[in-house]
Amino acid sequence: MGILPISEWASWNTSFGGAGTGSGPLSGPWYSTHKTQLLGVLLAAASNFLISVSLNIQKCAHLRLACQTEPKPYYMSKLWWCGITLLGLGEVGNFTAYGFAPIALVAPLGCVSVIGSAFISVLFLKKTMRAADILGGTLTVTGTYLMVTFAPNVPQALTARRVQNYLVSWPFLVYLILGIIIFCILLYFYKRKAVKHIVVLLMMVALLASLTVIAVKAVASMITLSVKGKMQLTYPVFYIMIVLMAISCAFQVKFLNQAMHLYKVTAVVPINFVFFTTSAIISGVIFYREFQSAALLSVFMFLFGCLLSFLGVFVIARNKKEEHVQIPFIDYGHIPGQKLTGKIQPDSHISCYGTLNNEDDSVKTQS
Q: Are 102 and 290 in contact (CB under 8 A)?
A: yes
Average pLDDT over residues 201-218: 94
Per-residue model confidence (pLDDT) at position 29: 53
- 152, 290 Cβ separation under 8 angstroms: yes
Q: Is the pLDDT of residue 343 over 60?
A: no
Q: First and final CA of the chain: distance in angstroms?
A: 87
> What is the rounded CA–CA span in Å between residue 324 and residue 285?
41
- How deeply is 136 buried, as exposed, middle or buried, from its count of CB atoms within 10 A (0-12, 13-18, 19+)? buried
- pLDDT greater than 60 at residue 349: no
The predicted structure's pLDDT at residue 77: 81
Of all residues in the chain, the percent with pLDDT exceeding 70 is: 76
Q: Alpha carbon of 154 to those of 25, 223, 292: distances in Å?
A: 19, 17, 9
Q: How many Cα atoms sit within 13 Å of 63 on the Cβ side?
A: 13
Residues 153-170: what's their mean pLDDT? 86
Percent of the chain with pLDDT strictly greater than 90 = 37
Q: In whole angstroms, give the CA distance from residue 103 to residue 190.
A: 29
How confident is the model over 171-193, as pLDDT tens digits? 999 999 999 999 999 999 998 88
Distance CA 88, CA 54 (A): 9
Please spell the DSSP secondary structure of 179-237, one letter per residue: HHHHHHHHHHHHHTS----HHHHHHHHHHHHHHHHHHHHHHHHHHHHHHTT---TTSHH
What would you measure as the largest C-alpha separation in the chain, in angstroms?
A: 96
Q: What is the 3-state secondary structure (H, E, C) of 154-192?
A: CCCCCCHHHHHHHHCCHHHHHHHHHHHHHHHHHHHHHHC
Tell whether the model's pLDDT for residue 339 goes beyond 80: no
Q: Confidence class of residue 301 from pLDDT cuts 50, 70 and 90?
A: very high
pLDDT digits (tens, 9 = 90+) for 226-259: 998 999 999 999 999 999 999 999 999 889 888 8
- Lowest-confidence pick of 86-90, 178-182, 316-320: 316-320
- pLDDT averaged over the chain? 79
Question: Among the ranges 202-216, 281-295, 307-321, which has the highest mean pLDDT value?
Answer: 202-216
Per-residue confidence (pLDDT) for residue 240, from 0 to 100: 95
- pLDDT of residue 202 exceeding 50, the answer is yes
> 2-11, 179-188, 246-255, 262-271: which range is least confident on average?
2-11
pTM of structure = 0.74
- The whole-angstrom distance between residue 135's C-alpha and the CA centroid of its chain comes to 21
Alpha-carbon dihedral of residues 131, 134, 137, 141, nearest 10 degrees? -140
Collect contacts of 161-169 with beta carbons under 8 A, ≥24 apart. Answer: 161/235, 163/218, 163/222, 163/237, 163/241, 164/235, 164/237, 166/287, 166/288, 167/237
**pLDDT over 50 at 45, yes or no:** yes
CA angle 38, 15, 299 (to 5 degrees): 45
Highest mean pLDDT among 150-164, 230-244, 328-342: 230-244
**What per-residue confidence (pLDDT) applies to 155?**
63
> Predicted confidence band at 28 (pLDDT cuts at 50, 70, 90)?
low
Query: H helices of the chain, where?
Result: 6-15, 28-66, 78-97, 103-106, 111-124, 131-150, 160-167, 170-191, 198-227, 236-262, 265-287, 296-317, 359-366
Higher pLDDT, 217 or 24: 217
Mean pLDDT score, 191-219: 92
- pLDDT classification of 73: cutoffs 50, 70, 90: confident
Phi then psi for residue 166, to 5 deg, are -65, -35
d(CA 336, CA 261): 33
pLDDT at 112: 87
How far from the centroid of its chain's Cα atoms is residue 128's Cα? Answer: 24
Give the other-Cβ count within 10 Å of 221's Cβ: 22
The pLDDT of residue 331: 44
With cut-offs at 50, 70 and 90, classify the pLDDT of residue 318.
Answer: confident
Mean pLDDT score, 195-211: 92
